[in-house]
Amino acid sequence: MQLENALRNALREEQFELHYQPQVDSANQSIVGFEALVRWHHPQQGMISPARFIPVAEETGLIVQLGDWVLNEACRQNLAWQAAGLPPIPVAVNISPLQFRQSEFAATVARVLAHTGLPPECLELELTEGVMMDAAERNIETLRRLRALGVKLSIDDFGTGYSSLAYLKRLPIDTLKIDQAFVRDVVDDTDDAAIITTIIGLANNMRLRVVAEGVENESQMRFLIAGGCGFQQGYLFSRPLPGAEFESFWRRRL
């Protein structure tokens, strides 16, 4: 398979880089965290979107190696920024289901933290609803181990999966990220508005942080603020940026 071979090669040749997108506090738009999003610069084909290669990496198992690289690079970069005087805030890293299900996943995270020296509270892991809701006791155990390390845990794309509310209560998580599909038409679509208001209420009542994703304009932002959504992320604030550009953006906003 062509893409698979190209991916293997890309891992050897380090053709990946991380871009970073800020998460802001609704109250004052200060940057309180940032999400790392992987990019692949293919020497012939140019930029290949993760929407295309992450599924292949997941099917072939290469996601484990790629995920390790992403985790290391995100932690290394965050610590480098702290060493350069930027505030200690968490970097959020997307974790694929297969990566999470490796029996040694929590040990891998512990190793990366020890190796890079990043304080655990400066790392947040984004897991999908599917992974979180998988009733396998082994998964809960992994979540507990991660929590015991001191890293933060969030549910990505919340609202698109099949979360059971009873289950949510048992999960050792910090943050719900509202999927951008609900944010897109929140101003015009009364169903989306109701869903968002409900998720925000659920999060606030359960003392979870809530981040709305895909915020692109002021009217969406105003709706979210009025509804009590604590944190936001989206093109309105910034697109995902290469490291150096993200750093300049961040410094201008301090």
Binding region for ligand G (CB under 6 A): 21, 37-38, 49-51, 54, 70, 94, 96, 156-157, 180, 213-216, 234-235, 240
Is residue 157 involved in binding Na ion (CB under 5 A)?
A: yes
Nearer to Na ion, 120 or 159 (CB): 159
Residue 63 CB, nearest distance to ligand G (Å)? 6
What phi, psi does 29 have (nearest 5°)?
Answer: 60, 20
Q: Return d(Cα 18, Cα 241) in angstroms, integer.
A: 8
Bridge partner list, 178? 158, 212
| # residues contacting Mn ion (CB under 5 A) | 3
b vs e for 193-214, b when ≥16 Cβ sit within 10 Å of the residue's Cβ?
Answer: bebbbebbebbeeeebbbbbbb
Output phi, psi for 164, to 5 deg: -95, 135
> At closest approach, how far in Å is the CB of 152 from Na ion?
15
CB of 232 to Na ion, least distance (A): 13
Dihedral sign of CA atoms 71, 153, 100, 212 in order: negative
- CB of residue 117 to ligand G, shortest distance in Å: 21
CB of 180 to ligand G, least distance (A): 6
The answer to whether 220 contacts Mn ion (rule: CB under 5 A) is no
Q: What are phi and psi of 203, to 5 degrees?
A: -60, -50
- Chain positions 189 to 218 lying near Na ion, rule: CB under 5 A, are 213
Please name which of 226, 214, 227 lies closest in space to residue 23, comparing C-alpha atoms. Answer: 214
**Binding residue for Mn ion (CB under 5 A) from 126, 129, 179, 192?**
126
Binding site for Na ion (CB under 5 A): 156-157, 213
User: Which residues contact Mn ion (rule: CB under 5 A)?
Assistant: 94, 126, 156
